Amino acid sequence: MFVLMPALLALAGLASAAPSRIVFEAETAAATEAPLVVVSADQVPPGSVFVEGASGGRYLEIPEKAGNPPALDKGWARFTFDLAAGGDYILWARVWWEGECSNSFTVQIDEMAPFLFGENATYKTWTWVKYPVARMMRPIKLAAGRHVLVFRNREDGVRLDQIVLSREPRFVPVGVEPATTRGDAP
């Protein structure tokens, strides 16, 4: 008994040491398809303007008027990452929406059904948006290990700076979050 206790405590310590969230820059995507492009101050899409305040000075963008489905069924960013622990996750993204016709992506994780991400009404500023938006909604259940996350073109005029996957229900990202990993795990 006296021998077991420290061992159990050590195990509990190991379990809680698994990070409860990961953070990565959108521009570290494993792959992208135009018209979704990586933007920096010296690499701005024609007809667009550089938006200050992005983490790392870079972000992904589908330029306004670049086109959106169903007329144009192109434009995505694919991310690959590893989770140290399984659980119910909240997907957060730091985004900059042009307006009410430019405020969403279609998101898919692994082989799960795609879902609508965004459609909130904060425009022309960097802001954190999450899914699921309410606690009573079905959570994103993810196992430990490798996952694939895809942000697809649903509307143009959208920018994507950082992505967080968190299993802390009370955690809310503020401003720029320190990146803990990349979106292109090999």
Binding site for Ca ion (CB under 5 A): 25, 54-56, 58-59, 161
- Nearer to Ca ion by Cβ, of 159 and 167: the residue is 159
- Nearer to Ca ion by Cβ, of 87 and 173: the residue is 173
* Least Å from the CB of residue 65 to Ca ion: 23
- Nearer to Ca ion by Cβ, of 4 and 174: the residue is 174
* Least Å from the CB of residue 181 to Ca ion: 13
* Least Å from the CB of residue 16 to Ca ion: 29
Neighbours of 181 (CB within 10 A): 16
Whole-angstrom distance, CA of residue 42 vs CA of residue 122: 27
- Nearer to Ca ion by Cβ, of 54 and 149: the residue is 54
- Nearer to Ca ion by Cβ, of 124 and 141: the residue is 124
Q: Residues 29, 60: contact at Cβ < 8 Å?
A: yes
Phi, psi at 6, each rounded to 5°? -60, -35
User: What value, to the nearest 5°, has the Cα angle with vertex 54 and ends 76 and 124?
Assistant: 80
* Least Å from the CB of residue 24 to Ca ion: 9
Helix (H) or strand (E) holding 12: helix 4-17
Helix, strand and coil content of the chain, in percent to the nearest 5, comes to 10, 40, 50
Distant-in-sequence, close-in-space partners of 110: CB < 8 Å, separation ≥ 6: 147, 148
* Least Å from the CB of residue 93 to Ca ion: 11
